[in-house]
Amino acid sequence: MSKIRYSRRSLLKTGGAAIAAAALPAPMVWGQESKNITLRQFGTGVSNLNEVATKVKEDLGITLEMTALDTDSVTQRAATQPDSFDIADIEYFVCKKVWPTGNLQAMDASRIANYDQIVGIFRDGKLTPESEIAQGTAPHTVGFVDGPDGTEFVDNESGWMTLIPTIYNADTLGIRPDLINRPINNWSELLNPEFAGKASILDISSIGIMDMAMVVESMGEMTYGDKGNMTREEIDKTFEIFTEAKKNGQFRAFWKTFDESVNLMASGEVVIQSMWSPAITAVKSRGIPCVYQPLEEGYRSWGGGIGLSASLSGMELDAAYEYINWYLSGWVGGFLMRQGYYSAVPATSKDFMSENEWGYWFEGKEATDTITSPFGDPLAQAGEVRDGGDFYSRMGSVACWNSVMDENQYMVRKWNEFIAA
Amino acid sequence: MSKQITAWLQAAPIGFVLLAFLVAPIVMIVIVSFWGATEYSIYPAFQFDNYEFLFGSPVTYTVFFNTFKYAFITWAFTLVIGFTVAYFLAFEVRSLKWQVALFLLCTIPFWTSNIIRMISWIPFLGRNGLANSTLMSWGVIDEPLEWLLFSDFSVILAFVHLYTLFMVVPIFNSMMRIDRSLIEAARDNGANGWQTLRHVIIPLCKPGIMIGTIFVTTLVMGDFITVRFMSGSQRANVGRLISNDINLLQYPSASATAVVLLVTVLIVIALFLRLVDIRKEL
């Protein structure tokens, strides 16, 4: 199947369509007709990369117009400007806000060639049959609806998906080991007075609140019923602790965009903060030591997926399915995994990564040679292992998922108070 | 055609433009400010919830206080600096050629975007930034000054940097209109430099100062990007409150805040205009 990557279209031209059709049994039209189709995609900067657009043009002939926005703007656009996009690359927890608007259409799982190979987290919620499902808006809880026009989420694999999972990761704190000089093992360290004026969290409420909860629980101040669905009392108490820390000058700044987090860390303004994996990569590629620190309490996880605009139909809809199948067929997965994310179908990504890369990123093995980012910057030398180990120990230690709570509006108001305090 | 109709016709294009792009949106904002919102939608209603919450929350008062604080301090600095620069250009520089050249020099920073000018302060003021390392190498300080960046100081510094020109231009313009013989007369009558400034130049510059003041205060009160970047998201003014609400799809609540802000700004401007009759002075 990996042959397809070399030249899907030349295969078609030379009568190899049969092979392709056998490999990808979904009822779709490869190639020719989609040449002139333009699909407008938007999403966060993590996965809306020009490289993907270039590659999809090369492989399928589809023109992909990408717009990268921050998490809040993505939600806003998906919910309020339904005609401004064909494909929404959004995060799972956002589904709760976007799906009820009716701007997206359910996807027919039977048209997804690699559906069976999608990791369990996105299907029944279980990474392995034994694993426990973490708190928060776990992707499978908002991943399916009851039919093509379904409005309610269902908790089984109904065959109608809200999003096709594309990318996900387990997040934790980033630290500057050279400026901290001691092991960091717990989320509570974020509020350790030792780092007063040198800590930061992100100013995106729905994600920040989860980090806060991890910290509060780790401090032993409170145990939440469900971190992903707090009561008003829990929200109040959480903000009380963080507001006090803020007033005591614990935080240097709050960040909202990827670049801000990179700059804060690289310039040494901050030595410990919530951070995203590729931001760590970006700091490291500047030659500055930075660790994505695994913590005892586990990770705060997130997942992203591709949704189809409700107004998509006919040839455009076919092209979108074609694009999705291409997306899951490995090239993008490899590209994303080489930045430290995980692909929804890891098995296909393997074909697009070297053995060394696969071993380092997925299996948690020692690098046998220099590991470089997809952009060519060296990230790790031979002998180094990935922070947090292999796929199963990382994704298996997820404590909670980014979420939208029932008390979201209340939480958001409290968040504003926190920022203004 | 009667004169009146001609006049109406002449005014019509700008009238329509203002109606469509200024009045209509504001009316819409006022209407939406009474609506309700869910997590993902807004629904028409007539309720005071948004205002109730706004006026009931202590944050609102803090944030409005911050907005005024930023506006006032920025105004004071831009006025002093702007007036001095304009004075130098208008009265100290003798040749028109140099006046024009130096005036253009003042506008050079505006060739790059607002945001870039603002963000360039961040590496300069940072913990390991240029300012701190210079001060440390001079032996003025032993430890980096933390308050240089991500503080009220850096916010106001950026505001002053960004908006001083809006003070310079109108004041310079008023100064250039002052009849030089008035200054000569003052001197002939025995006024010293300070007295001339106080009794002749400043009163004659009032419209310029007022226009500059309106520019600076409205700009500062509406600006949220500067506050966000320069305070590292640690401070908030009303603009940030609105932008947070919009980000979280709380349009009615954002509208209510915007209406209150608009009313506040209008009141402030009305007060200014009572102090100086700009129309008469122009």
Give me the mean pLDDT over the B200-213 stretch.
Answer: 93
Say which range, A16-20, A329-333, A391-395, B252-256, has the weakest mean pLDDT.
A16-20
CA pair distance B220, B211, nearest whole angstrom: 14
State how far the alpha carbon of A229 is from the alpha carbons of A122, A324, A404, B243, in Å.
20, 31, 7, 25
**Quick check: B122 contacting A, CB < 8 Å?**
yes
Cβ count near A367 (within 10 Å): 19
* Number of A–B residue contacts, CB under 8 Å: 88
By DSSP bridging, strand A104-105 and strand A164-175 are: unpaired
pTM of the model: 0.81
Band of the pLDDT at A14, cuts 50, 70, 90? Answer: very low
**Quick check: B248 contacting A, CB < 8 Å?**
yes
DSSP A27-78: S---SGGGGG-EEEEEEETTT--HHHHHHHHHHH--EEEEEEE-HHHHHHHH
- The continuous run of DSSP H or E covering A274 comes out as strand A272-275
**Quick check: A297 contacting B, CB < 8 Å?**
no
| B223 and B241 Cβ atoms separated by less than 8 Å | no
Burial class (CB in 10 A: 0-12, 13-18, 19+), A240: middle
Which residue in A26, A166, A157, A143 sits closest to A95, CA to CA? A143
Q: Which of residues 91-110 of A touch B (CB under 8 A)?
A: 96-98, 100-101
Q: Which residue has the higher pLDDT, B48 or B281?
A: B48
**Quick check: A250 contacting B, CB < 8 Å?**
no
Band of the pLDDT at A263, cuts 50, 70, 90? Answer: very high
Cβ count near A139 (within 10 Å): 28
Q: What amino acid is encoded at B11 in this protein? A: A
The nearest CA of chain A is from the CA of B133 a distance in Å of 13
Q: CA-based Rg of chain B, rounded to a whole angstrom?
A: 23
Q: CA-based Rg of chain A, rounded to a whole angstrom?
A: 21
Q: What is the pLDDT of residues B149-201, one digit of tens each?
A: 999 999 999 999 999 999 999 999 999 999 999 999 999 999 998 999 999 99
**Quick check: B57 contacting A, CB < 8 Å?**
yes
Q: How far is CA A166 from the centre of its chain?
A: 8
| Residue whose token pair is 């392995």 | A128
**Quick check: A79 contacting B, CB < 8 Å?**
yes
Taking the alpha carbons of A10, A14, A16, A20 in that order, is the dihedral positive or negative? positive
Instruction: List Cβ neighbours of B137 (8 Å cut-off, separation of 6 or more).
Output: none
Band of the pLDDT at A75, cuts 50, 70, 90? Answer: confident
pLDDT of residue A13: 44
User: A97, A246, A271, A416: which to substitute to probe chain B, counting the most B Cβ within 10 Å?
Assistant: A416
| Chain A residue with Cα closest to B242 | A416
CA pair distance A222, A202, nearest whole angstrom: 21
Cβ distance of B39 and A96 shorter than 8 Å:
yes
- A104 DSSP β-pair partners: A309
**Quick check: B53 contacting A, CB < 8 Å?**
yes
Please list the alpha-helical segments (H only) found in A151-269.
Answer: 177-180, 205-219, 232-247, 258-266
The nearest CA of chain A is from the CA of B106 a distance in Å of 30
DSSP B86-137: HHIIIII--SHHHHHHHHHHHHGGGGS-HHHHHHTHHHHHSTTSHHHHHHHH
Cβ distance of B236 and A419 shorter than 8 Å:
yes
Q: What is the pLDDT of residues B5-56, one digit of tens each?
A: 999 999 999 999 999 999 999 999 999 999 988 777 788 888 898 899 889 8
N-terminal to C-terminal alpha carbon distance within chain A: 57
| B80 and B197 Cβ atoms separated by less than 8 Å | no
Q: How far is CA A183 from the centre of its chain?
A: 27
Q: What is the pLDDT of residues B84-97, one digit of tens each?
A: 999 999 999 988 89
**Quick check: A262 contacting B, CB < 8 Å?**
no
pLDDT more than 90, % of chain B? 67
Name chain A contacts of B232, Cβ cutoff 8 Å: 200, 251-255, 264
Cβ distance of B234 and A269 shorter than 8 Å:
no
Burial class (CB in 10 A: 0-12, 13-18, 19+), A109: middle
